[in-house]
Chain A
């Protein structure tokens, strides 16, 4: 009986230790496609079958900045903060093939929301080309995802099919990625794996939920909606003198995802 209890205790300890050690956290320098250079510090937390890629988290590694205004005699420019508790994130559960994205709260204008996405396997072409990135021997791969072509470097020294943002599905962790237009970039800057980390990966949550189609519509119209919100706060005679500057020919030029399956 004593032996049985000892064996059970050892098993429980082993399971606990294994689950603790099968956690990791990778930090990336992350450039988001944008009109102006936008570089973030993003983290990829992972365990046996889940990943959570996130940035713009309060208490995260990014500098915490609120909404800012620059005012001179001819122009006012406002940078609207999109930092909140969970930030922008992409969650994946590799066992159920579930993917949930989260968009942060946008200033005081829009609530944070989550949207389910389609699990899209990227058809990678693995190239017989290698280079050392840091201490990792890395191999090249090229793949297309929603309108952009990505060149990535992955390492089988960390044999996990994970990667930054929505890039995944190679025989090793993606440690560097960029797109053909040089608008998207992710570079691993540090990794703790295996790590005795205390974090729990949780599915993103938010006050609102959208479909992926609603998210695309929101993204297409967000700046016009900000304009309409501003206009609605002005007295009518003043509001009439306010016009929106339409941008011509720039539709989705700076989007990370430029084409969707249903289009």
Chain B
């Protein structure tokens, strides 16, 4: 009886530990989503000059600034 009780206690502890690890994994996924946060601006010509692209980090860009720059440069 005593052995059965200890076995049940260990099983419960194991289940909590495993559940805890699952939660950590989901936090890591959120962190990854944070890391890829940003904005891509790409371009190409309608001639033979290929293409290029650039990346704006999440916390650095401001859409108004970017749109102003694009209007001024390209149109």
Contacts and interface: CB of A to CB of B under 8 A. Distances in A.
Interface stretch (B2-10, B22-30, B43-51): B43-51
Contacts of A104: 47
Interface string B34-56: 00000111111111111111111
Interface residues of A, number: 51
Contacts of A103: 47
A226 B60 contact: no
Interface in A207-239: 219, 222-224, 226-227, 229-231, 233-235, 237-238
Contacts of B56: 238, 241-242
Given A79-B46, A82-B47, A233-B72, A243 B54 contact: yes
A3 interface: no
Interface stretch (A11-19, A105-113, A151-159): A105-113
B61 to A, nearest CB: 6
Interface string B45-75: 1111111111111011110011001101111
B54 to A, nearest CB: 5
Given A34-B48, A244-B52, A230 B75 contact: no
B73 to A, nearest CB: 6
B45 to A, nearest CB: 5
Interface in A63-79: 65-67, 69, 74-79
Contacts of B42: 75-78
A226 B48 contact: no
A20 interface: no
Contacts, number: 133
Contact of A234 (B39, B40, B47, B69): B69
A32 B41 contact: no
Contact of B39 (A75, A88, A229): A75
Contact of B45 (A77, A82, A235): A82
Nearest to B53: A245
A81 B73 CA distance: 12
Contacts of A75: 39-42
A235 B61 CA distance: 10
Contact of A65 (B40, B44, B46, B57): B46
A235 B70 CA distance: 13
Interface in A32-78: 32-36, 38, 56, 65-67, 69, 74-78
A56 B40 contact: no
Contacts of A106: 45, 47, 49
Interface of A: 32-36, 38, 56, 65-67, 69, 74-83, 88, 103-104, 106-109, 219, 222-224, 226-227, 229-231, 233-235, 237-238, 240-245, 254-256
Interface of B: 39-57, 59-62, 65-66, 69-70, 72-75
29 contacts: A32-B47, A34-B50, A75-B39, A76-B40, A77-B43, A78-B43, A79-B45, A80-B45, A103-B47, A106-B49, A107-B45, A108-B73, A109-B73, A109-B74, A222-B50, A223-B51, A226-B52, A230-B54, A231-B54, A233-B73, A234-B69, A238-B60, A240-B60, A242-B54, A242-B57, A243-B54, A244-B52, A244-B54, A254-B50
